[in-house]
Amino acid sequence: MLRWSVHLEGGPRRVNHAAVAVGHKVYSFGGYCSGEDYETLRQIDVHVFNTVSLRWTKLPPVRTGGHERAREVPYMRYGHTAVLLDDTIFLWGGRNDTEGACNVLYAFDVNTHRWYTPKISGAVPGARDGHSACVLGKTMYIFGGYEQLQKQIHILLFHLLYWSLIILGSPARWRDFHSATIIGTKMFVFGGRADRFGPFHSNNEIYCNKIKVFDTETNCWLNTPSTQLLPEGRRSHSACKTQTHLAIVFRKGKFNDFFVQLWFSKVTFSFY
């Protein structure tokens, strides 16, 4: 039976933050907490969890030394994403109550704890939050998010620092606060909030409960076989790849404290 074995105090109390594992440490960026100020522009906070000592630390604010340097440090936000490539964490998107949504790409060097903004070209995606971001090789895949008018996938080629838009085939339904996980050369999308009649056309929200699969080799969405046992639709959950499963931790739904696992070779669910 799967169960939680360690309960730790001292970490940030947040939702819709972004976290990345780097070696034996986990870097957590920003997020939303009731009662905190998201109108005043301030630097995003960075908390680091050491999996060896089982302790949290908060990194000190970055000394900017001027307005131009300050623009290279992201402001506090929620609903953003963060991915790791080599020794650099790339943070994109997110929302602040004053500035709204953002589409600037920020880079964080895990060795020096220095922020900078790479010079990007191409079709930069529109600002949004609640999207997903996955890295395969030297490419980042962005899908969904709130304030997105298109349902296609944006890719960032890191070796060229170039944004491109994939417009092949029929896209999956628009959604936000879903999960997306790379397994092999395919991206598995689960859950999220959508609208029954399309993005922003009504207030008839639905929560998806089917797996959508995007093939990065053909740049097309695949048809997935149906299965009788499906979890309830939900948003703001998390997902990760194990050796044989896609493991999903529920946040919304009656299975709130349990895992669901997807056999991605057979596309069947099991609950724990």
Report the pLDDT averaged over residues 42-67: 89
Quick one: pLDDT at residue 70?
63
DSSP assignment of the chain, as one string?
Answer: ---------SS---BS-EEEEETTEEEEE--B-TTS--SS--BPPEEEEETTTTEEEEPPPPP--SHHHHTTSPBS-EEEEEEEETTEEEEEEEEETTTEEB--EEEEETTTTEEE----EE-PPPPBBS-EEEEETTEEEEE--BT----SEEEEETTTTEEEEE--SPPPPP-BS-EEEEETTEEEEE--EEETTSTTS-S-EEE--S-EEEETTTTEEEP----S--PPP-SS-EEEE-SS-EEEE-SSSTTTTSEEEEETTTTEEEE-
The reported pLDDT for the residue numbered 233 is 82
Mean per-residue pLDDT for 213-222?
92
pLDDT band, very low/low/confident/very high, at 1 (cuts 50, 70, 90): low
pLDDT digits (tens, 9 = 90+) for 19-41: 999 999 999 999 998 888 777 78
pLDDT digits (tens, 9 = 90+) for 115-137: 999 999 999 999 999 999 999 99
From residue 258, how far is each of 109, 187, 234, 248 by CA, in Å?
35, 23, 13, 9
| Residue 269 pLDDT greater than 50, yes or no | no
Is pLDDT of 268 > 70? Answer: no
The per-residue pLDDT for range 67-111, each reduced to its tens digit, is 556 689 999 999 999 999 999 999 999 999 888 999 999 999 999
Most confident of 111-115, 174-178, 259-263: 111-115
Q: Tell whether the model's pLDDT for residue 217 goes beyond 90.
A: yes
pTM of the model: 0.86
